[in-house]
Amino acid sequence: MSLVQMSVRDEPVAVTEKPGRKPGFGRHSRLVFGLVVPVVLALGWEILVRLGLANGRLVPPPSVIFATFAELARSGELQRHILVTTSRVAAGFAIGTITGTLLGAISGYSALTRRLFDPTLQALRAIPSIAWVPLFILWFGIFEGSKITLISVGVFFPVYLGVMGAVMSVDRKLVEVGRAFRLSPVAMVRRILLPAVLPAYVIALRSGLGLGWMFVVAAELLGASEGLGFLLVDGQQLGKPAQIVAAIVAFAIIGKISDWIIVLATAPLLRWEDRFSAERVAD
């Protein structure tokens, strides 16, 4: 989640803050520089295995991982597993986001609801979510139901907390502007509260999605016949470490892409933000 985001945020600071820096050592050079360590390690391992100095069976060299990845993709296996895993995350993310947003908004808005529900929810949050798995399997069966419930629970809490905090911290002074212009309750939500909580909401969604990916792995490790998590277990049981690494790489790629989608989709709505990095660019 953070590699690209970090390089994007750091870059203007470096360029504007250090005018004495040599021209050409900009964004691309920095990206290349950051790749030095992983590339050297990968190439080194590849060479060691090729020269027969190391046995690559448990830690497969990059060429083997790439070949496994390509083979899985060519047979359509990879796409099928990705599709299954992604649909589980999508369903769980949707359920967790909707319930988290609604309950978070109500708890943030009404102190009574907050006093009533928040202690219970905070107590539930303290339970490591994986501990629910046996119960969910008893309740919702071994198939999709229990998996999607587990993912929903994982997504729910960061979204709930983020939305509640955001609503509670909306600037009273801006709400007062809405009152001075006689906004109806609906208009107040639409024209003041929603835009005001949006930046925090996007962050809540991104951490919710991150947890969604985490929990889909947990759910699939605990029993699945398809999905990237199944590829992990399958690779372990059949002694195919390259398949495990290929599945991990697939997780990293689609996790990053899904995070990007949220960032890109909401960026036009957040252009107004008076952010630290935006300010630096303006200077």
**Is the torsion defined by CA of 264, 247, 80, 145 positive or negative?**
negative
The nearer residue to other proteins, 135 or 187, going by C-beta atoms, is: 187
According to the binding rule CB under 8 A, does residue 184 interact with other proteins?
Answer: no
Smallest gap, in angstroms, from Cβ of residue 277 to other proteins? Answer: 13
Residue type, 206: R
According to the binding rule CB under 8 A, does residue 174 interact with other proteins?
Answer: yes
22: left (phi over 0), alpha (psi -120 to 50) or beta: beta
Q: Write down the H helix ranges in 141-270.
A: 144-168, 172-180, 185-188, 194-221, 228-237, 241-266
According to the binding rule CB under 8 A, does residue 198 interact with other proteins?
Answer: yes
Radius of gyration of the chain (CA): 23
Is residue 72 within 8 A of residue 243, CB to CB? The reply is: yes
The nearer residue to other proteins, 83 or 174, going by C-beta atoms, is: 174
Single residue of 75, 179, 257, 260 touching other proteins by CB under 8 A: 179
Please state, in angstroms and rounded to a whole number, the distance separating the CA atoms of residues 198 and 200: 6
Task: Residue 72: name the closest of 205, 194, 234, 191 by CA.
Answer: 234
Single residue of 102, 177, 252, 257 touching other proteins by CB under 8 A: 177
Please state, in angstroms and rounded to a whole number, the distance separating the CA atoms of residues 270 and 198: 8
According to the binding rule CB under 8 A, does residue 265 interact with other proteins?
Answer: no
Please give, one letter per residue, the 3-state secondary structure of 81-130: HHHHHHHHHHHHHHHHHHHHHHHHHHHHHCHHHHHHHHHHHHHHHCCCHH
Single residue of 173, 186, 225, 276 touching other proteins by CB under 8 A: 173
According to the binding rule CB under 8 A, does residue 274 interact with other proteins?
Answer: yes
Is residue 229 within 8 A of residue 216, CB to CB? The reply is: yes
Please state, in angstroms and rounded to a whole number, the distance separating the CA atoms of residues 153 and 221: 17
According to the binding rule CB under 8 A, does residue 176 interact with other proteins?
Answer: yes
Single residue of 196, 200, 203, 249 touching other proteins by CB under 8 A: 196
Interacting span for other proteins (CB under 8 A) from 8-16, 34-42, 139-147, 176-184: 176-184
How many residues make contact with other proteins (CB under 8 A)? 21
The nearer residue to other proteins, 58 or 283, going by C-beta atoms, is: 283
Interacting span for other proteins (CB under 8 A) from 55-63, 136-144, 184-192, 239-247: 184-192
Smallest gap, in angstroms, from Cβ of residue 163 to other proteins? Answer: 17
According to the binding rule CB under 8 A, does residue 112 interact with other proteins?
Answer: no
According to the binding rule CB under 8 A, does residue 254 interact with other proteins?
Answer: no
Please state, in angstroms and rounded to a whole number, the distance separating the CA atoms of residues 165 and 173: 17
The nearer residue to other proteins, 15 or 269, going by C-beta atoms, is: 269
According to the binding rule CB under 8 A, does residue 282 interact with other proteins?
Answer: yes
Smallest gap, in angstroms, from Cβ of residue 195 to other proteins? Answer: 4
According to the binding rule CB under 8 A, does residue 70 interact with other proteins?
Answer: no
Residues that bind other proteins (CB under 8 A): 173-174, 176-177, 179-182, 187, 191-192, 195-196, 198, 271-274, 278-279, 282
